[in-house]
Amino acid sequence: MLRLTVLGNLGSDAELRYTQKSNSIAHFRIAVNQVRTGANGEREETTEWFRVNVPGRQAEYASRLLKGQRVLVAGRLQISHFQRRDGTEGTGFDVWADEVVNVSARNTAGEPEDGVTLESAAGRESTSEVEDDDALPF
């Protein structure tokens, strides 16, 4: 199993879909930009695209992600090969995410982001609420 962590920007709003068994899956694509110095000494920028699938109850949270937001995704990498319409070979990268974190400082409206945090499928809680502030040791 290939495990991957990717930091990139959403190419479009996340979509929420349901399987025939009513399981939810959120889908979105993220772009990862890389800047290198080429052999001729010039700056070269490339963009790699990853399709991200977020299954289960995390899908509901991931469906709130919007185009342009920066996200950190961790999960299992699935590589597929296909033939394009023009006959050339292509490679697809699918990430089956078990962790997704919105790391955008601001949303697309320029307002502070609440930080959609999705923890692993193991059921870890990302926040905890304390009803009585006097119970805190600090």
Give the pLDDT band (50/70/90) at residue 133: very low
Strand (E) or helix (H) holding 127:
none
pLDDT at residue 120, rounded to an integer? 39
Q: Which domains does the chain have, with CATH numbers?
A: 2-121 (2.40.50.140)
Backbone angles phi, psi at 60, to 5 degrees: -60, -40
pLDDT at residue 55, rounded to an integer? 94
Q: Work out the average pLDDT over 15-36.
A: 93
Q: Work out the average pLDDT over 71-91.
A: 92
With CA atoms as reference, report the closest residue to 30 among 98, 118, 95.
95
pLDDT at residue 90, rounded to an integer? 87
Tally the C-alpha atoms within 13 A of residue 46's C-alpha that lie toward its C-beta.
Answer: 6
| Residue 30 Ramachandran class (φ > 0 left, ψ -120 to 50 alpha, else beta) | beta
Per the confidence metrics, is the pTM higher than 0.75? no
Q: What is the pLDDT of residues 92-112, one digit of tens each?
A: 889 999 999 999 865 555 554
- First and final C-alpha spacing in the chain: 43
Give the pLDDT band (50/70/90) at residue 62: very high
Alpha carbon separation from 93 to 30, 46, 81, 127 (Å, rounded):
11, 16, 9, 31
Alpha carbon separation from 13 to 16, 44, 47, 79 (Å, rounded):
10, 28, 18, 23
